[in-house]
Amino acid sequence: MSVRETCADWSKHFDPINDHLLKGRKDPETGFQIKVPRRNVGPSSTQLYMVRTMLESLIADKSGGKRTLRKDIDGQYLMQIDSFHKTSFYWNYLLSFSEYLQKCCDLSQLWYREFYLEMTMGKRINKCTVRHNHNEECSDLITMEKRIQFPIDMSMPWILTDHILKTKEPSMMEYVLYPLDLYNDSALYALTIFRKQFLYDEVEAEVNLCFDQFVFKLSEQIFAYYKQLAASIFLDKRFRVECSAVGAYLLPYPRANRYETLLKQRHVQLLGRSIDLNKLITQRINADMQKSLDLAISKFEGGDITGVIELDGLLQVNRLCHKLLSKWLALDDFDSMFREANHNVLAPYGRITLHVFWELNYDFLPNYVYNAATNRFTKYRGISFGTAVSRDRPPQMSHHYLWGTKQLNLAYTTQYSQYSGFVGPQHFHTMCRLLGYQGIAVVMEELLKIVKSLIQGSLLQFTKTLMEAMPKICKLPRYDYGSPGVLGYYHAQLNDIVQYPDARTELFHNFREFGNIILFCLLMEQALSQEEVCDLLQAAPFQNILPRPFCK
């Protein structure tokens, strides 16, 4: 009856009148039905404690030497009471569900390093520990009142976060922000439980450092992943097949990772601050993309004119990488970034145009010879009549700024090395795409100035000198002399010109430069006309040039 009076929650706060137990009768065979109304408020903690204590005294096996009531209770009811007693153990936690849920989720103890924190207790640096002659700088250090800090490598949240970033495990990548939530628990514990300001300052300082490192590493990893993916897509498929046929090992496409989940995060809660992770990653990847374009042009500036094809490949891979990243990030326009890297925002011509003309003037025109059979220019390896060409050494760069990985860099280097021994139609088509109409006009204008200086300068003087050395009369001999006789006659007549010392060293060299300029302009015009075909076909409908329907 004590248990009944303590825990029973009757309707209208009165015991049921028709309860047979109160009258000393047995329950009917159909059983006595008790209607329990639904309540909005559960039992109090005191009520629950008293009920469980009384039930425990009823079913306890030992009662300090006293006789227990366990034997007087029917076995069926004893099992029900025991089951109720065990189940009601968790009810106290359910009544304070929010409080105990917070305690269960509190992982702040994974951050606290009690031994080191108790040793420092927020102490400040009050003396110079460096072995040297102490001076005024030491006193300045003391007045700065720097607190003792701990390296982030000792922090469990950063150890877990860094482990996920290093392993690049796809199944764990989308949970990389979870360890950082330990800092929220640690800061809350420091303010509400310990009530120590220096602990919160330590947490805040570590969060600032760790989150900067996290964003830096994550951004670099995302950029490298998408650059590797773009380079793998762009790699020639026949090259892959041939490498597989000879047994050469090429890395497959990068393993799919779940970076998209992280790129969608715009409200990361950390120490009461709402952080736009997407915006921070966008800023860093914008800088990485800009640096990648700048290094691609710098690499071209460190080589000869044959590197223009590799430059075009690097730009296409960066464009594809930009397209893949733009699906999740609000990146700057690729053409605007390219113009900025090319220093072509306000200037009429950029770095690529300047280097192309520089290579034409100092290396291509004086050192290359044209082969009409192959329609290519090849570099003459014999006597060089021009000055030695000195180029700026390209800067050292990480793999992800070029093609993504070391293996892909080797593959693309092997592929583009086939275009490094000559200058042919492929190079002219690429120069047309990269220079554009404005760049081509600048190069042609400068080449015409070189032609004008050659004609009005050395070629004019050589022509006047040769005209004076020409014989006054040089008739055609009779055919009776035969070929050897005719050749000997002209050789005798033109012996002074043949023996002219500057003819081979300067005159013929100037004619080679003059001929290379003419051939360069011709091949550029042919390449430009082929590149314009696509533009003309696309522009034809806007000019009311429509294809006629085919009919017999």
357 domain-assigned: no
Neighbour order of strands in the sheet with 368-371: 368-371, 376-379, 422-423
What is the 3-state secondary structure of 107-162? CHHHCCCHHHHHHHCCCECCCCCCCCCCCHHHHHHHHCCCECCCCHHHCHHHHHHH
327-365 burial: b if 16+ Cβ within 10 Å, else e: ebbebeebeebbbebbebeeeebbbbbbbbbebbbbbbb
Sign of CA dihedral 376, 381, 386, 392: positive
44 domain-assigned: yes
- CA dist 354 to 301, 320, 328, 348, 454, Å? 9, 26, 36, 11, 21
The DSSP letter of residue 455 is I
* Cα 43 from Cα 53, distance rounded (Å): 15
448 domain-assigned: no
Structure-block tokens of residue 174: 């989308």
CB neighbour list of residue 236: distance below 8 Å, 6 or more residues apart: 415
The per-residue pLDDT for 392 is: 84
Structure-block tokens of residue 225: 């992943």
535 domain-assigned: yes
215 domain-assigned: no
Q: Which of 99, 127, 157 is a domain's end point?
A: 99
φ/ψ (deg, to 5) at 377: -100, 130
* Cα 433 from Cα 292, distance rounded (Å): 20
- CA dist 161 to 164, 211, 218, 447, Å? 5, 10, 10, 58
* Cα 426 from Cα 417, distance rounded (Å): 13
Q: Which of 80, 99, 118 is a domain's end point?
A: 99
∠ at Cα 192 (189, 195), nearest 5°?
Answer: 95
Tell which residue, 303, 490, 470, 465, has the closest CA to residue 394: 303
Structure-block tokens of residue 60: 């306890």
pTM: 0.78
Torsion region of 395: left, alpha or beta (phi above 0 gives left; psi -120 to 50 gives alpha) = beta
147 domain-assigned: no
φ/ψ (deg, to 5) at 350: -110, -165
The per-residue pLDDT for 306 is: 94
The parent domain of residue 92 ranges over: 2-99
The DSSP H or E segment spanning 259 is helix 259-263
Q: Which of 99, 123, 141 is a domain's end point?
A: 99
* Cα 100 from Cα 542, distance rounded (Å): 71
476: buried, middle or exposed (CB in 10 Å: 19+, 13-18, 0-12)? exposed
- CA dist 230 to 221, 283, 288, 310, 408, Å? 14, 20, 15, 15, 11
The per-residue pLDDT for 194 is: 84
The DSSP H or E segment spanning 446 is helix 425-454
The per-residue pLDDT for 144 is: 38
Bridge partner list, 274: 269
361 domain-assigned: no
Residues of the chain falling short of pLDDT 70:
1, 10-32, 34, 36, 62-69, 113-150, 248-251, 383-386, 504, 550-552
199 domain-assigned: no
- CA dist 264 to 268, 280, 320, 330, Å? 10, 12, 21, 11
The DSSP H or E segment spanning 423 is strand 422-423
Bridge partner list, 368: 379
Helices (H) and strands (E) in the chain, counts: 25, 5
- CA dist 68 to 6, 62, 79, 380, 402, Å? 21, 7, 16, 113, 84
* Cα 168 from Cα 187, distance rounded (Å): 29
**Domains: count for the chain:** 2
The DSSP letter of residue 256 is P
